[in-house]
Structure 1
């Protein structure tokens, strides 16, 4: 293909799990256009992961939650400010992986000569794209990573790599190494537990995680570590009351410190949430606890994944999850 853009804008406003599942597509764009400058127009939650991926040169960060929840006048001013910023940078190629009305319009008014949009049916204005041929319409049965890769088919992408591993930054690895060095756990395998999730319906009970930690501690070679993000801080007191003092609790980590910490684990046992995707992309084995109603096309994209599911989360037994973690640790 003779098409050689020099200044590319990739748009993705998805949540962190969605952004991680799009990293293989970002890697393809980087490999396809190695000399181009690539900028990511990215939601706030996914910005740090995109930065350490090494696939983009610059970021434009948009806080969509603040735009949604702030006053209309302020939000409208910010949108026009964003549009001016995009137009000033004179992009010659827009790739809209998110492809919603607002992102399609932004791409259209950006001044870019070439526009390639994901086709999301009634949720997008993909007729505003002009790149030929057009990508296939979204197939909701596809895994999300494959959906993002499909968007790039018009670029002549064939047999793309589906798995991406990224390395946390050295300074964050050193910070976590220093943190763990004081815990006297050097000779143990580290088992992460992430009891949080964005919605209560996706949370295996804290009592189950507590019982699981006791099973893990029965093996002197295993060290459970509970991770708490900002949304799980309210659980800390209950965890301290119900979990053994031998269980480590790590909280107040930045996202990049969290990614670094997960890379030290031998396995992460997590609810269906962004933590599992972060663990997978830094190369950690994952045991995912979820009910069967959750869509399989959003699973972490890794070969080191064990899914424990049932009709409801309450039906998933502690011994079942423990056995899954034991098996994946032995592989």
Structure 2
């Protein structure tokens, strides 16, 4: 394939799905070392792209602005975005999302090559290469499949999120403020996911946290604004709980921790991309194609046909103990 100058990548949401494009982004850079790579994503996920070192520019889409009822506000927003996309003079657009809106955006760029994931009827028209989504593949491998179909060479796959040093420094400051010792083991718990059936009971996480605190391990319990009542409970029990930190600072807390434990959620996949060891609770009947990328053995699952709540705290204590021993040889 001829050398390309300007490439646009599209993935609007969510945190985990944006992170899952990272191996594909690195493949694109390997194939086009001199290209300018632009990434279009939703406004709330744009800060994550600071860890995608091969991305040169980020376009932030405020999706809420386009859902407004006032066309006098929506129309200027739309044409502003369209001008931005046209000005990019993209040679290639890769739509990793495959939504109706992202298919339209890909088409409206006017790029001569437009590749996309196709799983909805009537969307293939937007692409010069539409790749039917294979639901059996891991989310990250679906993105790689698009590139392979487009003729790109895929060598060693790199799933590497490079956290900005400023975020790491902010995380160190938070550790100090909480009187946590960077030289001692710490577990970062991420108990909450976007879907209730992917959540292990919170009281089980507290059992797990209490066990490891009693064994000298520092415990951090993270979550979002919607999780505050349960986080307040954890805080009242003396656990370190981040309070509405920026996402990258929260990522820094994971980076500084010894082990990350939680459910199938974007931050867990971000931890994997940062090279962290994780223990992920997952029901294969629900999320079999979203295991930790290239590390399916890091999963703890219930018996076939059973809900996640059937995983006993004792089983998780053993899994976490094995993981701690693996990352802390001799302890």
Same fold (TM over 0.5): yes
Matched residue, 2:191: 195
CA, structure 1 residues 39+272, in 2 after alignment: closer, same or farther (shift >3 Å)? same
Counterpart for residue 317 of structure 1: 312
- Is the Cα–Cα contact under 8 Å of residues 91 and 110 in structure 1 kept in the other structure? yes
The structure 1 residue matched to 2:181, chosen from 185, 208, 231, is: 185
- SS of equivalent to 2:207: helix
Q: What does 1:200-279 align with in structure 2 at a 5 Å threshold?
A: 200-220=196-216, 222-241=217-236, 243=237, 245=238, 247-279=239-271
Structure 1 regions of 5+ residues with no counterpart?
A: none
In the other structure, the counterpart of 1:14 is 13
Q: State the partner residue of 2:289.
A: 297
Conserved 8 A contact 1:288-1:305: no
Deviation at 1:284, TM superposition (A): 1.2
Bigger mean CA offset, 98-107 vs 258-267: 98-107
Shift of 1:326: 0.7
* Pair 158,138 (structure 1): closer, same or farther in 2 beyond 3 Å: same
- Once the two structures are TM-superposed, the CA of residue 99 in structure 1 deviates from its matched residue by 2.0
Measured at CA, do residues 230 and 53 of structure 1 come closer, stay the same or move farther in structure 2, by a change above 3 Å? Answer: same
Q: CA deviation digits over 1:71-120, x for unaligned, max 9? A: 25233442232112211232222121112222222222222222222232
SS at match of 1:250: coil
Which whole-Å CA distance do the structure 1 matches of 2:317 and 2:54 have between them?
37
Give how far 1:184 is off: 4.6
> SS where residue 107 of structure 1 aligns?
helix
TM-score (norm 1): 0.89
Does the 8 A contact of 1:15 with 1:45 survive in 2?
Answer: no
Over the residues paired in the alignment, what is the CA RMSD in angstroms? 2.1
Partner of 1:176: 171
Bigger CA drift: 175-184 or 249-258?
175-184
SS in 2 for 1:54: coil
Instruction: Tell me the TM-score normalized by structure 2.
Output: 0.89
> 2-side partners of 1:153 and 1:196: how far apart?
34
SS at match of 1:188: coil
Distance, in Å, in 2 between the alignment partners of 1:200 and 1:29 is 36
What's the offset of the Cα at 1:176? Answer: 1.3
**Superposition misfits of 4+ residues, deviation over 4 angstroms:** none
Deviation at 1:161, TM superposition (A): 3.5
1:107 corresponding residue in structure 2: 106
Per-residue CA deviations over 1:295-316 (Å, capped at 9, x if unaligned) read 2112231438521121112211
Which structure 2 segments of 5+ residues have no match?
327-331
2:127 corresponds to which residue? Answer: 129
- Go from structure 1 to structure 2 and tell me whether the alpha carbon gap of 1:106 and 1:159 turns closer, same or farther (over 3 Å shift): closer
